[in-house]
Chain A
Amino acid sequence: MNEPRSKGPDSIDDLVADHLRRLEGCADASSLLERIEADRRLTTAMPATTSHPIRPLRRLALGSLMAAVVLIAFLGGRYFDSGSAQAASLLKDVRSVHIQGIDRCYLVQHAVEPNLQSKPADLASESILWTRGEYFWSDTAIGLKRLKIGRDESGTIWLAPDARKGIRFSATSAFPKEVETLSQIASMTVPVLVDEVLSDFDIRTDRPVSGRSVVWAQLKAGRSHAFLSAAMLEVDLERNLLVRLVLWLHKADAPNGTVTYTLVDRLAPGDASYRLESHLDADSVIEDHSFKPEAKPKVASEPGT
Chain B
Amino acid sequence: MQQELESEIASALARLPVQQRAVMELASLGHSLVDVAEMAGVSHANARVLLHRARQSLAESLKRFREGEVR
**Chain A interface (Cβ < 8 Å from any Cβ of B):** 1-8, 10-17, 19-20, 22, 28, 109, 111, 113-114, 202, 204-207, 209-210, 214, 216, 218, 229-230, 232, 234, 246, 248, 255, 257-258
Which residue in A12, A113, A210 is a CB contact (below 8 Å) of B70? A12
**Are B27 and A13 touching (Cβ within 8 A)?**
yes
- B14 nearest CB across to chain A (Å): 3
**Are A3 and B29 touching (Cβ within 8 A)?**
no
Which residue in B6, B14, B34, B59 is a CB contact (below 8 Å) of A258? B14
With a cutoff of 8 Å between Cβ atoms, the chain B residues found around residue A210 in the complex are 30
Which residue in B6, B21, B33, B41 is a CB contact (below 8 Å) of A19? B6
**Are A218 and B27 touching (Cβ within 8 A)?**
no
Which residue in A2, A8, A11, A229 is a CB contact (below 8 Å) of B32? A2
**Are A12 and B59 touching (Cβ within 8 A)?**
yes
**Are A10 and B34 touching (Cβ within 8 A)?**
no
Known: A4-B71, A15-B5. 5 other contacts (CB 8 A): A15-B9, A19-B10, A214-B26, A216-B22, A248-B18
Closest to A8 in B: B68
**Chain B interface (Cβ < 8 Å from any Cβ of A):** 5-6, 9-11, 13-15, 17-18, 21-22, 24-36, 38-41, 44, 47-48, 51, 55, 58-59, 62, 65-68, 70-71
**Are A206 and B71 touching (Cβ within 8 A)?**
no
Q: Given A10-B68, A216-B22, A1–B29 Cβ distance below 8 Å? A: no
- State the majority secondary structure of interface residues on B: helix
With a cutoff of 8 Å between Cβ atoms, the chain B residues found around residue A13 in the complex are 27-28, 55
- State the majority secondary structure of interface residues on A: mixed
Alpha-carbon gap, A232 to B14, bound state (A): 13
Closest to B51 in A: A3
Q: Given A13-B27, A16-B25, A210-B30, A204–B70 Cβ distance below 8 Å? A: no
**Are A6 and B30 touching (Cβ within 8 A)?**
no
Alpha-carbon gap, A130 to B61, bound state (A): 33
Provide 11 A-B residue pairs closer than 8 Å at the C-beta atoms, listed in order of the A residue: A3-B27, A8-B70, A16-B58, A17-B29, A111-B11, A113-B15, A206-B39, A209-B31, A216-B22, A230-B18, A257-B14
- A109 nearest CB across to chain B (Å): 7
Q: Given A12-B59, A15-B62, A114-B15, A209–B29 Cβ distance below 8 Å? A: yes
Alpha-carbon gap, A6 to B41, bound state (A): 23
